[in-house]
Chain A
Amino acid sequence: KAGVTQTPRYLIKTRGQQVTLSCSPISGHRSVSWYQQTPGQGLQFLFEYFSETQRNKGNFPGRFSGRQFSNSRSEMNVSTLELGDSALYLCASSPGRGRNTIYFGEGSWLTVV
C-alpha cells in the first residue's frame, strides 16, 4: 500500500507570492491533516479535512487555506508569503473515524526568500 505522497518536495518562493502544496493520502483514508514544522515552533496543526469538509482548524492566519477533493486528495495554499512561512509542511492521513493513528508524508520543504 502506498504511503502518503506530498508534492513538491522542495520549493523556493519569493515574499508576496503564493504557493500550493499537494497531498495524496493512503488509499482508503478519508481524513487529511496538515502541519507546519519549524525549528522554532515544532509541529503546529494547521487544519484537518474529512470528506471534503474542514473538520478542525489550528491557530494560523487566513493566508493559510486548504481543501479536499472527492478522491480525498488535499491541497493547502499559502498566499502573500512571508519569510516566517519557511518551514516543512507535513500532510498526514488517517481513516478518519474514531481515534486512529495518523500517518505522515515526507513533507514539502518551503523556503521563502
Chain B
Amino acid sequence: GESVGLHLPTLSVQEGDNSIINCAYSNSASDYFIWYKQESGKGPQFIIDIRSNMDKRQGQRVTVLLNKTVKHLSLQIAATQPGDSAVYFCAEMNTGNQFYFGTGTSLTVIP
C-alpha cells in the first residue's frame, strides 16, 4: 500500500506580522529546551534555548515561552521576514542527557 510520510504542520504569515510556533513536549522530567530553524538543504540552526527554571526568554526578534504545567513550548517571531521561512523544530532534553526532537513546523512568509 501507499506509505504516508510525516505531515508537517504548516503556518503561513504575512511579512511583518508576528509568528507563533507551538510545540508540545512529552516528558515532564525534561529540563532543557531548544528551538532550531532548518532551511531547505541545510542543517538545523540554533535559535534560542530555555531551561525549566524559566518561563520566558527573549532573543533578537524571538521569544520562547515555556509552560511546564501543560508541557508546552512556543516560539514567537516578531516582524516576520521572508528569510524566516523554514522548518522550525523544538527539542527537549531529559534526564538522560539526550535530545528528542519534535516533528517540526513549516513556516512560510508571504511577501
Contacts and interface: CB of A to CB of B under 8 A. Distances in A.
Interface of A: 4, 33, 35, 39-43, 45, 48, 55-56, 90, 99, 101-107
Contact of A106 (B5, B36, B42): B42
Nearest to B34: A101
B34 to A, nearest CB: 6
A101 B97 CA distance: 11
Contacts of B1: none
Interface of B: 3, 5-6, 31-32, 34, 36, 42-46, 49, 51, 89, 93, 96-104
A56 B5 contact: no
B97 A56 contact: yes
B45 A104 contact: yes
Q: Which 4 A-B pairs have the closest CB atoms?
A: A104-B43, A43-B101, A99-B32, A39-B5
Contacts of B32: 99
22 contacts: A33-B99, A39-B6, A40-B3, A42-B101, A42-B102, A42-B104, A45-B98, A45-B99, A45-B100, A55-B97, A56-B96, A90-B44, A99-B31, A99-B51, A101-B49, A102-B34, A103-B46, A104-B36, A104-B45, A105-B43, A107-B42, A107-B43
B44 to A, nearest CB: 5
Nearest to B48: A101
Given A40-B3, A40-B5, A43-B89, A90 B98 contact: no
